[in-house]
Every structure is written in C-alpha cells, then in structure tokens.
A and B are shown apart, each in its own frame.
Chain A
Amino acid sequence: MQATETATQRSAAPGQGQRIDALIDEARHNMTICNACRYCEGFCPVFPAMERRRAFSPEDLKYLANLCHNCSECFYACQYAPPHEFAVNVPQSLSKLRTESYRQYAWPGPLARLFDRNGLVTALALAFGVTLLLLIAIALNGGLAPLVSNQHGGDFYALIPHNVMVITFGSVALFVLLALGMGSANFWRESGEGARALGDGKSWRQALAETFALRHLHGHGKVGCTYPDGYHSHARRYFHHFTFYGFMLSFAATVTGTIYHYVFGWVAPYELTSLPKLFGTLGGIGLLIGPAGLLYLKLKRDENTGDGKQLGMDVAFIALLWLTGATGLALMLFRETSALGLLLVIHLGVVMSLFVTMPYGKFVHGLYRLAAVYRNALESRRQGH
C-alpha cells in the first residue's frame, strides 16, 4: 500500500487523483458484471485472472488493465455493451486505466507529465530539436561544410567522432534503462508481489513464449482477433511482429556494430553481408512495414474500443519507430553521396528522441505487459491450472 500511495503522489497533478478514481470505478463496474456473466472466460487471460478475485482493488484493476491486449473480442461479444444500460466496455475501460497507470509508474515522477503532451507534435518537435542540437555541435566542430560534402567516403566518424556518439548515446541509454527499470519496479511493487516472486523459471518461460509470439492476439482457434473492427483478422499481430522484431533487429545491428568496433577493432563502414548491415537492413524494412500497418489499423479501429486520449501517444511512438527505420535505410542507401551528413544527423536525432521518450510513451506497454503476463503465469501456476 505504501508503494501505491507514493507512486500516486509522486506523479499526481491536480485533478489526476479524481480521474484515476473515476477510471477505477468504471473498471470495477465492468469487472463486477463480467464476473457475474463469465461468457468471455475463454477469450484471454484477463477473464480467468478476474475470476480468481471476488473484489477488485485498484492494484488488481491496474494489473488486469496491463494484462489486456485490447483485442476487443469481449466488446463485440458482450451482451451488455452500449447501448445496453450496463454499458460494459472492458477494452475501453482497461485501456484508459492502462494509460493512467503508465503515468503513475513513470520515473522520475515529475517527468510523468510528458505522458500528457505525448502527441505527434511533441515527438516531432523533440526530433527536430535534437537534430538541431546535433547540427550545432557539428558546426562548432568545423563548420557546416562537412555535412554537405562527399569527401568523407561514407565515413560517419569523419562527421561525428565515434567517442562523441558513444558518450551522448551511452549516457542517454543508461538513463533510459534506469527509468524503465524503475517504472517496471513500480509496476511490480504495486501489484503486491515481492522481488522473490520474480524467480519462477517456468512462469518466465510461459510469459516470454506468450509475449514473443503475441499469443493472445492469435484468437481462440487461431482465427486472429477482432481488430480493428468486429471481424477476425491477424493483421494486428503481423504488423506488431514486423514492428517488434524490426526494432530488435535494428537494435542488434547497433550491438553487433559496437562489438565489431570494440572487440575486433573492425571500424565501419561494413560489408553488405556483415551482421550489422544484415540486421540493420532487415530491421529497417520491418520498421517501415510494421508501424505503418499499425497506424493504419489504429486509425481504422472502432473508436468505441480504445482510449481516445491515448491515440496521440500511440501515434507519436509509431511515427518515431517508422522514422527510425526510414532514416536508417536512407542513410544506408545514400551514404556514398553528399546527403550522408544530413541523413546521419536526422537519423541520430530520431533515434535519440525515440530513446529519450521511451520511458514516457507507448514503449512501456511492452515491459508492463510482460510483467503482467508473467504475473498471470505465476498466479495460474500457483492455482494449479
């Protein structure tokens, strides 16, 4: 309880507490009706997890909110969905509560307000700002000329010295890791579980398998989920896979590049068949397809099933991912030309803003969902089913 109160106090702006209370009440109203009906129990783990409880504390509800994949099957199947006077709408209610929980768990607290203005404009402004900063840094280093010349033969480090890159990105990465770690710790503490409960290997295996396969978007019978409308489709899961694995491959490109550089002393640029190049190319393509598809589905989706307030945050994250892929690929394709300088600066600016916004945007859903899926695995194992 102590942790809950501090987490709430830390990030609560005026009126925030009331909004959370209202969302908690709404989610509780939904869960109470669901628990008396139970027709949806085969859809996803939210319902069995709900049935393990008779009363719903705010902590329980936030856990359920982060366990929900927002597939909307239960909304279309619900005999009590609006216009019924019970107005049951589980995906929307949990979606709103989930957004508020991101804000509550965020670290450090004052920065949680970034969630409020986390729209496309903010993200793009940030990208622009960082780009501008880099431009200035380079200009200070030797004038703008190197940016537009093609005398560097495709060598990044002629433009921005390697150690400058490592220091800037390294320190941002450390901060981001710390912030994400603290946010996840807040989530876990609020769920009422201790650190010791994190050590169940079988539950981890189940949770990771479910997460990496997006099993809860398969739909029962592998027909897909009812997203973006009432018809079954695998589109969301496929586009999410492109996005997630595209991101991971791009990340792997950076990691292998770093290993090449420090362990083997192989300095960029690398061959087309080298690991960093292969990872980067495939990852970039994934990031072009996945986020574009997710955005298309999101704009097409039934507005009854989502949290309208969250749309800006989602679009900002999707846009940054897409730009990361697009600028990365452009950089690779045009590195031999005079565009290298500008492309490099833009790409790094986008990646930097993606990093910086990670703990205060949609990225956190992955961590909290994984934690919730793990907790669900743990709970069902404890119950023996």
Chain B
Amino acid sequence: MPKSTNAPSLGSGDLVHHDVLVIGGGNAALCAALSAREQGASVLMLESAPKVWRGGNSIHTRNLRSMHTAPTDVLTDAYLEEEFFEDVWRVTGGKTNEALARMVIRASETCTDWMKGYGVRFQPSLGGTLHLGRTNAFFLGGGKALVNTYYHAAERLGVKVIYEAEAQQLVFDGKRFDHALVSIGGETHQVSAKAVVVASGGFESNQAWLEEAWGPVSRNFLIRGTRFNQGKMLRSLLDNGAKSIGDPTQGHAVAIDARSPKYDGGIVTRVDCVSLGIVVNRDGERFYDEGEDFWPKRYAIWGRLIARQPDQIGYSITDAKAVGRFMPSVFPPEQADTLEELALKLDLPVASLLKTVDEFNAAVQPGHFDHSVLDDCRTRGITPEKTHWAQRLDEPPFFGYPLRTGITFTYLGAEVDEKARMYMASGELADNVFLAGEIMAGNILGQGYVAGFGMTIGTVFGRIAGTEAGHYAST
C-alpha cells in the first residue's frame, strides 16, 4: 500500500504493552475489542483501512439474524432454535458444525440487548423490507451506523485504534502467538500482546487468491464489499500451521448488476427481478429455473450460476408486467419496445434471443400469477423449466439488466472450538489465538447463506473471542 499522507502518527508505547491485540476493524473485531475491555484488558485494534473506509464488509450489512422465543421491541413473533437451525442446515446442505451452529443460534438471543448497551439502535420491528422482521433485527441506518456506534464506544472505553495499520504476518512460537509484523505509514512495526484476536475477514478482495481458487473466470467477478479484505492474516495463520476449514470456492456469491463498481457496490447492486422474467446467457439461452423458489432464498445461487456461464455474464429480461413488482436497482435497465431492439442494446444475438423467448412463451401454462406464493404459473416441455411465476414475455416495453457474479465473502478459514480458540493442524489448540468473523465463519457455513447470519456469527464469536482473550491475558 502506498504511503498515505494521513497515516497515523504513533507515540512511543502506542504499539506495545497491550493485553489484547485485535486485528481487523469490522463488526467481529469491534465486538471482540469491546468484550476484551469488559474483562479489564487493555486493547489495541489494528484496522488496515483508512478511517473513512473502516468497518470492512460490515458497513454494507443491514441486519442480524436472531433467535427469540417471544416478540421483542425489534423482532416480531418468535424464531426458535429448531427453525433457525433448520434454515442453516438447509442452505449449507449439512455442511456445518452442528454444535457450533447451535451454540451461535442460542447465543444470538442475547445479542440485541448487548448491542443496545453500546448504543446500537434498531429499526422498530414493524419496518423492514424483504419481510425479515421476524427472523432478523435491522440496524437503524445499516451496518455503517452500527460500526460507527461501536467505534465511538471503543473510543469512549479507551480501546486504542490505529487505522491504515495492515498486519502482514503473524509470528508464532510453536502454538503460541508471539508478535505481528504490521505495516503502518510505510514502516514495519513489531507488535506483541498477551493474546491476539484475528478478525480480519476473508480473502475475496485478493484477486490473485481468487484466481488460485476459481481460475481466470474470477477476473470477471465483482466484489460487493470492502477492497481491504486481502486475506493476509488467513494466509499467515495457515502458514503457521492452523487447521484449515472450508472450500476456497465457497462463500456468498450473488448475481448483481454487471455495471456495478469493482468494490463496495453493496446492497444497491442487487437485481431483484430474476423470478419475474427469464435469465439468458451471452448466447441468448436460458440455463436455470428462474422460478425455483422465492428470491431471498434463491438469491445466493445465482452468483455461482452466472460464474459458470460463458464470459461470466447473464441478462435478466422482463416485460411491462414486472414494472413496480421489485426493488429498484441503482442502474436503470436497458429498455426497448421490441425484443429485437433490446437484444441489440444488450449486445445479445437477436435470432437466438427471439427463439428462446418464443419457446418460453409457447411453454407457459395458464395459471394464477401470485408473486407472494409459489404459484401455479409454470412452463411445460422446455429445458430448463420455469416452475413458478412463469408469464409470457409479450407486453412491451421490455427490460434487461446485465448480471455478473458478485462475491460478498469467502468461507475458507481456520478451525475453532466453542471458545473461539484456534486449532492447529496437529489437533491441539493454539495457546493465545482467538478467531472471529469471516475468518472462521466456514466452521458453520460450509456453503450457501442465510441473510443476516454472518453478522450473528461475527457478533457471537467476536464477543467470545474478546472475552476469552481478555480472560487469558489477565491470568
């Protein structure tokens, strides 16, 4: 990273004599820093981003999935352990550590009160889009407001935070963390502490690593979150003999607007109308059932579907009937009065697109369209079928959104126990290394995603890691 003009100036003693070193600056790191302070530990937190970009992927989040046995001020109805766990089981296809997943789910019940204690505010439970008011608590103002609140609390409680401080490497003595090599303002510093919490995210912003995992197709991926998740700490942990968990190609990959920025596109880049029309690839052909299930549930599969298409691009095509039925996205769709014209605007082969639409229209069966249920509008006799919400594409104007794979986060990580302690490949626990957030989420999320669960894992494990690290440092 180039030397920054507003790099922090360090006084003597700023980097040494801390009980707990927290590496990272997002939700999990902040929860860890605050929890370590609750134990009376002195805490140094290193955020690799400049202050204006602090907070990692957490600044793009909006809610946290939370178990509750009765309605609360921020959650409606009830959401019990069994249902929550079933949701996790279903999306992960069983690739989860059940004991850890259940532990997180149970602990999630105490999260919102703990968060409020530090000044975090939530939307009243009646609000909220996507009908998630029952399962998910929405942060007032979203994730950036959340991390701002935590940073203010950390400041108030005397947590030392240094921005633009990028940990490059961890140095171990056997299974004990000794110090970290940290780059601050172009200089490398040796930072030691009694215990370390590593909560520095995944590697999704590291193009070289993505290519290692996915191959050259990853050059066409967009990163929905921060550009600062370079995975350097994950690499260093693995180099030091941490026990790895997860598949480097697994993570949260969604279909987003192809015109989005390379990094930090966040929520507004989602394209919500896939289930209302058809999706074709570069060659104008359909490749998956757009009506398989409700959008929030199927949302996470489309990133991987697009990644497998030629040039890693897709196009969601709808007609006038879809207008007003979905959340607007940040970029206006291409629009045309005929499909030929739309194909030209989207740079799609005209004859192929017309053939695809004709076949699709001919296969649409009569039914009662209802986007709020799995309705009986379906096709018959084409491949792939569209099994719900299938309506003929015949009412101009026609609309098209280009789609690309948007990586939100990765699941490759290091294995932990229920106290957030890190396992070495030997099967022993590291002495003083605690992990939280995306760097260990793969223990619980082997694949797939349920909305708001990343924040739950980050909050629960951040609190545990900070508490345990603080406790370790004081004994």
A interface residues (Cβ-Cβ under 8 A, vs B): 32-33, 35-43, 54, 73-74, 76-80, 83-86, 220-221, 223, 230-231
Contacts and interface: CB of A to CB of B under 8 A. Distances in A.
Nearest to A78: B144
Interface stretch (B121-129, B182-190, B234-242): B121-129
B266 A80 contact: yes
B264 A84 contact: yes
Interface-centre pick from B52, B53, B124, B145 (highest chain A CB count, 10 A): B145
B194 interface: no
A84 B60 CA distance: 12
A76 B145 contact: yes
A77 B144 contact: yes
A302 to B, nearest CB: 12
Nearest to A41: B127
Contacts of B141: 39-40, 42-43, 73-74, 77
Interface of B: 52-53, 59-60, 62, 119, 121, 123-124, 127, 129, 138-145, 148, 152, 261, 264, 266-268, 324, 327-330
A33 B268 contact: yes
A54 B123 contact: no
A71 B287 CA distance: 48
A40 B330 CA distance: 16
Contacts of A84: 264
A36 B269 CA distance: 8
A220 B140 contact: yes
Contacts of B127: 41-42
30 contacts: A33-B330, A35-B328, A36-B328, A36-B330, A37-B142, A37-B267, A39-B139, A39-B141, A40-B142, A42-B124, A42-B127, A43-B140, A43-B141, A74-B141, A76-B145, A76-B148, A79-B144, A79-B264, A79-B266, A80-B268, A83-B52, A83-B53, A86-B261, A86-B268, A220-B121, A220-B140, A221-B121, A221-B140, A223-B119, A223-B121
Contact of A79 (B60, B140, B152): B60
B148 A230 contact: yes
Contact of A42 (B60, B123, B268): B123
A37 B266 contact: yes
A80 B62 CA distance: 14
A40 B141 CA distance: 4
A85 B266 CA distance: 12
A40 B266 CA distance: 14
Contacts of A33: 268, 330
B121 A36 contact: no
A88 to B, nearest CB: 10
B59 A79 contact: yes
A231 B121 contact: no
A83 B59 CA distance: 14
B152 A231 contact: yes
Contacts of A85: 261
Contacts of A223: 119, 121
A36 B142 contact: no
Given A54-B328, A79-B266, A231-B152, A38 B140 contact: no
A254 B266 CA distance: 56
A26 to B, nearest CB: 15
Contacts of B152: 230-231
B298 to A, nearest CB: 20
Nearest to B151: A230
B229 to A, nearest CB: 15
Contacts of B328: 32, 35-36, 54
A40 B121 CA distance: 12
Contacts of A41: 123, 127
Contact of A77 (B52, B53, B142): B142
B222 to A, nearest CB: 13
A77 B329 contact: no
A36 B123 contact: no
B330 A32 contact: yes
A36 B119 contact: no
Nearest to B126: A385
Contacts of B145: 39, 73, 76-77
Contacts of B62: 39
Nearest to A221: B121
B140 A54 contact: no
A368 B25 CA distance: 42
Nearest to B330: A36
A165 to B, nearest CB: 52
B228 to A, nearest CB: 13
Contacts of B119: 223
Given A35-B328, A223-B119, 15 more contacts: A32-B330, A37-B268, A39-B62, A39-B145, A40-B142, A43-B140, A43-B141, A73-B141, A73-B145, A77-B144, A79-B59, A79-B143, A79-B267, A86-B268, A230-B148
Contacts of A38: 129
